[in-house]
Chain A
Amino acid sequence: MSRLSAVRPAYWISGVLLTAAVVLPLLVPTYAKPDPHLWGFPFFFWYQLMWVFLSAILVSISYRLIRTEERKRRAAQGLGDPEAKDRAGAKEGDQ
């Protein structure tokens, strides 16, 4: 039970962030207009280019949250950290 309640916030927050990263750039009426300009770019163009960065940030935060959560889960299950092994340079015969 304690593990479940520990899992949920990370997944919920990530879910919200990722949903925002999908939905907000698709709300065309919010940005289909020329003004305000930025460095000669109409709003429509620079706003969408800005979303490239925003989306990358949102996905990065989700990644960190979920990675931490998965490490906890794997540790609780007695599974190793494959990337720690990787850093140690051990070779694994994958199937």
Chain B
Amino acid sequence: MNTDVNWVQLIIVILIFGAVTVMGFMASRWRSAGHLDNLDEWGLGGRGFGTFITWFLLGGDLYTAYTFIAVPAAMYATGAISGFFAVPYTIVAYPIVFVFMSRLWSVSHRHGYVTPADFVGGRYGSKALSLAVAVTGILATMPYIALQLVGMQAVFETMGLGGNNTLAKDLPLLIAFAVLAAYTYSSGLRAPAMIAFVKDILIYLVILVAIFYLPHVLGGWDSIFGAAQEKLAKPNPATGKPTGAFIPGEAGYVSYWTLALGSAMALFMYPHSVTAVLSTKTRNVVRRNATLLPAYSLLLGLLALLGFMAIKANVNIKGLDGLANPQLAIPRLFDQEFPAWFAGIAFAAIAVGALVPAAIMSIAAANLFTRNIYRDFIKPSATPAQEAKVSKLASLLVKVGALVFVLGMDKTVALNLQLLGGIWILQTFPAIVVGLYTRWFHRYALLAGWAVAMLYGTITAYNVVNPATKKHFGGSLANIPGTTTPAYIALIAFVLNVVVVVVLTLVFRAVKVPDGKDSTHASDFTADRGDPGVHDLPEIIDEGGAATAKS
């Protein structure tokens, strides 16, 4: 068992980390037109990112360090259903994004919306609904940030950092986060945008080398898949059922596609995805990126297969606490099979990979707090400079919160909450995405649907008991009510959400509950950079979604 510090790895990680830190602070001057004293500049990088930068930024944002640890870990532990679904998930996400995201870009661009909750508030004229969306976003993002730390921890642990006393164990994480907090504070979204270049290039390098080099060392793909199939078919001592599924059997079909679809629909509901999209320059940047981002999906698919390689390589996944931890599978695989210097690069890639999304997520959560809680409820007269100031402070708070979470509580709490986060965030889909096309849904019906689905999803997830450990939050699958077919809880809750919204909308319309004021205009949804402001628009533009109304 390796408890000594591997100095070669550590030095390489520190060097790369140092370089990234310098970049993070320098980023405040990068492409900057003015001062960082408003949210457009600090929180959205001046809203000027083109296709190229956005590709790195979104890639760095969506494919997080945690993903890189967790997806292969799931493949290692339970196989295709909980692991490889990430591939169809990230395939299906982009056509969906392609359809609606440019509309969100346009309307946000014209009205100066910074968060998805801003849009919901403006569209439905309901602060309550906007608050619900904002709170959901913050709740779903916080554990996600915490998990980035968990990913980093797995790497530090493998390098031999971490002794018996708490300080030595947590010091690397504290330093990494203090540095991250400092440059996010000073540079805003520009810092992760710049660092994303380093992160993504390193990750691509590591995965490509791993995918060509490791099968060569481990005896070829045939034997890797063979070892995985054998391991996953072995019965679990606690339940007597197979450990996992190499390829989903008939019983797992619904689980597999609902996990993929539910996650895909949820992906761009996360505030950090929206933040990255809104920071782009023109309406078409996000669409172009939907055609280019699948490159990362390929990467993720190959990466997932590293989980099977870890099975074949028979890595030791016992943590420092003596318990088996599948999350160590990938770091340990690198540690065991790569020369120390390259393992160092791989670990740096994961650690830097944690910084980019953590920075964007904390900015996104901070923007939500500032716009939809502070400005809407505490200080409506806030100036742009005050907003930026509050947001900067909130981003610090969010990160400290995540840190306390990871250090103070059991790691499983963060994992459980992240699982819940996925369920929760999908429940904002009707308000945001449907709202981009029609206002037929009533604001209070949306609120009720959201509340019912949040409650249902949380309770259902709580009731999933892991058969081996007897713990709650045992997974993201539950039986579809009235059947014995397991499906992704988020998607079941989403269907319930939509049903409630439709029924209540009919009821509210029948009894004439008043709608909120819609501050958007049909032409806002197709507006592009350089278009005139909404009040100057000639009537001719009134065509966007109004084709049927006109004919």
Contact = CB atoms under 8 A, between A and B. Distances in A.
Contact of B528 (A29, A40, A79): A79
Interface SS of A by simple majority: helix
Contacts of A28: 248, 252-253, 256-257
B22 interface: no
Contacts of A82: 282-283, 528-531
B291 A25 contact: no
A26 B261 contact: yes
Mostly, the B contact residues are helix
Nearest to A1: B551
Contact of A45 (B250, B260, B305, B543): B305
B301 interface: yes
B287 A52 contact: no
Interface string B248-264: 11101100110011000
A52 B91 contact: yes
B528 A74 contact: yes
Contacts of A74: 528
Contacts of B256: 28, 32
Interface string B166-183: 000000000000000000
Contacts of A85: 529-530
Interface string A29-55: 100111000011110110011011101
Interface string B290-307: 111011011001100100
A55 B294 contact: yes
A52 B298 contact: yes
Interface stretch (B131-139, B217-225, B436-444): B217-225
A59 B95 contact: yes
A95 B290 CA distance: 25
B541 interface: yes
B533 interface: yes
Contacts of B409: none
Contact of A78 (B260, B295, B540, B551): B540
B88 A48 contact: yes
A77 B253 contact: no
A59 B97 CA distance: 10
Interface size range on A against B: 35 or more
B268 interface: no
A66 B287 contact: yes
Residue with the highest number of chain A CB atoms closer than 10 Å, among B91, B109, B551: B91
A53 B84 CA distance: 17
A42 B530 contact: no
A83 B288 CA distance: 12
A40 B489 CA distance: 34
A34 B87 contact: no
Given A40-B222, A42-B225, A52 B297 contact: yes
30 contacts: A22-B96, A25-B91, A26-B92, A26-B260, A28-B253, A32-B247, A39-B221, A42-B225, A44-B84, A44-B247, A48-B91, A51-B91, A52-B91, A53-B298, A55-B91, A55-B94, A55-B294, A56-B291, A56-B292, A63-B287, A63-B288, A63-B291, A70-B284, A78-B538, A79-B541, A82-B528, A82-B530, A85-B530, A86-B50, A86-B281
Interface of B: 33, 40, 47-48, 50, 80, 84, 87-88, 91-92, 94-96, 98-99, 109-110, 112, 215, 220-222, 224-225, 247-250, 252-253, 256-257, 260-261, 281-284, 287-288, 290-292, 294-295, 297-298, 301-302, 305, 526, 528-531, 533, 538, 540-541, 543, 547, 551
Given A22-B96, A40-B224, A41-B221, 16 more contacts: A22-B92, A26-B88, A28-B252, A40-B225, A44-B80, A44-B84, A53-B294, A56-B94, A63-B284, A63-B290, A78-B540, A86-B282, A91-B33, A92-B530, A94-B47, A94-B109
